[in-house]
């Protein structure tokens, strides 16, 4: 009888054999099919047909039915030959995983392929201006009218809404039900007269987000995901993937690639340009020491102490992100490491804010040429407060960690078991 150790070795060898087999199969397929002169959409449709663009998706939905750990194995083969993968962005990171988990066959058939190819852009329509962190307290309403739902209300912090063809929408469909049980999840067409998108100008000069107004906007009945009133459960899947998205790497493309690569790079650059200030939002820990040296503050013991704190937090964040990536690669669903990572990123951003403030002093208020890091430091000081809000506030992350990780009692909620129409609201 084999020992436990021998069984472990056999399992490792089996994994290695499987990895090698998938690696070889992907390499062979790429040798036969990758041509960097193809139009990008044509190439991505080929990926959808073959399943190599999303290897861990089910066979019937443009994947190969492989374990999630194989995504990274296949991605390395794509990188080795400079091949382009599936489209990047919110549609792939948030929408597709939610549809795979909860949508019906017709919804998957209509929406997954255009997401993979990049032909359809999406936005997230969850947050509202009157409820802060209490997402379940939303008041945007959807009322059934024959074969359609009529939507009225307002959403906010909707990045990419001005370019989106569809949005994942949370709306209240039952005011007699308690707060969390009267919400439904919709796939809303954005290109219609009842939808108005307005950009929001931020104090750091960027306009990443939008607010979206609905005035008798219409959603076909077939675009309700799951059942009416089941939206909160479905939204939790989206939110879990949103928190774990911090472990998602931006695609890299070769500068000397052919037309397919250049089209993909242009698409990626356009998408990520919306988030070009996000490194400043995270605090730019990599600039703390260079700025301390440049300004001569590196010998100040208080500054050095703050630099040490930034470095410690940066390393913790890096390790936690790595844990999240490894968990996803092993096929585990998004877990508490997402909330831990998100919370630590906020703490790190505040520590960086304090360090940059100590180093720059009053010069931190200046922008443009000649200012600290040519204005980057001032942008850091104006952007880091957003880290504690976006993607779920620090308070929400602490609740999740306390309740789901530490097993503490849930936050008291007097509206939990009463009809929401009678609940006290902002």
| Residue 107 near residue 225, CB atoms below 8 Å | yes
Helix (H, G, I), strand (E, B) or coil at 129: coil
The neighbour count for residue 401, using CB atoms within 10 Å, is 16
Q: What are phi and psi of 297, to 5 degrees?
A: -90, 0
Separation of alpha carbons 196 and 163, rounded Å: 12
Catalytic residue, candidates 128, 242, 337, 379: 242
Widest CA span in the chain: 73
Q: Taking the CB of residue 225, how many other CB atoms lie within 10 A of it?
A: 21
Q: 185 - beta bridge partners?
A: 170, 225
What are the CA-CA distances from residue 184 to residues 97, 164, 168, 235, 239 (Å)?
Answer: 18, 20, 10, 9, 15
Backbone angles phi, psi at 199, to 5 degrees: -70, 150
User: In the block, which residue shows the tokens 């009692």?
Assistant: 409
188: tokens are 């809303």
Known catalytic membership, residue 191: no
Residues marked as catalytic? 242
């Amino acid at each position: 009888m084999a020992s436990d150790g021998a069984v472990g070795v056999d399992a490792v060898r089996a994994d290695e054999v499987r990895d090698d087999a998938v690696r070889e199969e992907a390499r062979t397929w790429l040798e036969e099919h990758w041509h960097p002169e193809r139009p990008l959409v044509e190439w991505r449709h080929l990926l959808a047909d073959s399943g190599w663009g999303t290897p861990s998706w089910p066979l019937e939905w443009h994947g190969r039915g492989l374990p999630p750990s194989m995504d990274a194995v296949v991605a390395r083969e794509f990188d080795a030959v400079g091949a382009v993968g599936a489209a990047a962005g919110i549609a792939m990171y948030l929408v597709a995983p939610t549809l795979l988990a909860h949508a019906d066959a017709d919804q998957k058939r209509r929406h997954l392929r255009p997401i993979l190819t990049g032909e359809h852009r999406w936005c997230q329509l969850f947050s509202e201006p009157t409820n802060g962190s209490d997402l379940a307290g939303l008041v945007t309403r959807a009322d059934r009218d024959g074969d359609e739902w009529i939507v009225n209300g307002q959403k906010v912090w909707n990045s990419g809404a001005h370019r989106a063809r569809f949005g994942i929408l949370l709306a209240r469909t039952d005011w007699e039900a308690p707060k969390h049980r009267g919400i439904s999840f919709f796939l809303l067409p954005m290109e219609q007269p009842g939808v108005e998108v307005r950009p929001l100008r931020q104090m750091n000069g960027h306009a990443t987000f939008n607010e979206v107004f609905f005035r008798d906007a219409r959603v076909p009945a077939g675009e309700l995901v799951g059942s009416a009133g089941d939206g909160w459960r479905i939204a939790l899947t989206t939110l879990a993937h949103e928190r774990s998205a911090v472990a998602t790497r931006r695609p890299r493309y070769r500068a000397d690639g052919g037309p397919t690569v250049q089209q993909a790079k242009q698409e990626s650059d356009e998408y990520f340009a919306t988030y070009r200030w996000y490194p400043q939002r995270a605090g730019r820990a990599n600039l703390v020491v260079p700025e301390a040296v440049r300004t001569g503050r590196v010998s100040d013991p208080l500054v050095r102490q703050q630099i040490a704190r930034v470095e410690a937090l940066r390393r913790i964040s890096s390790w936690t992100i790595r844990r999240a990536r490894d968990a996803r690669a092993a096929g585990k669903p998004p877990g508490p490491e997402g909330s831990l990572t998100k919370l630590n990123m906020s703490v790190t951003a505040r520590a960086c804010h304090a360090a940059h403030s100590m180093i720059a002093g009053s010069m931190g208020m200046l922008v443009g040429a000649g200012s600290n890091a040519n204005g980057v430091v001032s942008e850091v000081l104006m952007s880091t407060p957003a880290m504690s809000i976006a993607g779920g506030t620090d308070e929400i992350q602490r609740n999740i960690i306390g309740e789901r990780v530490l097993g503490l009692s849930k936050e008291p909620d007097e509206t939990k078991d009463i009809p929401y129409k009678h609940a006290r609201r902002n």
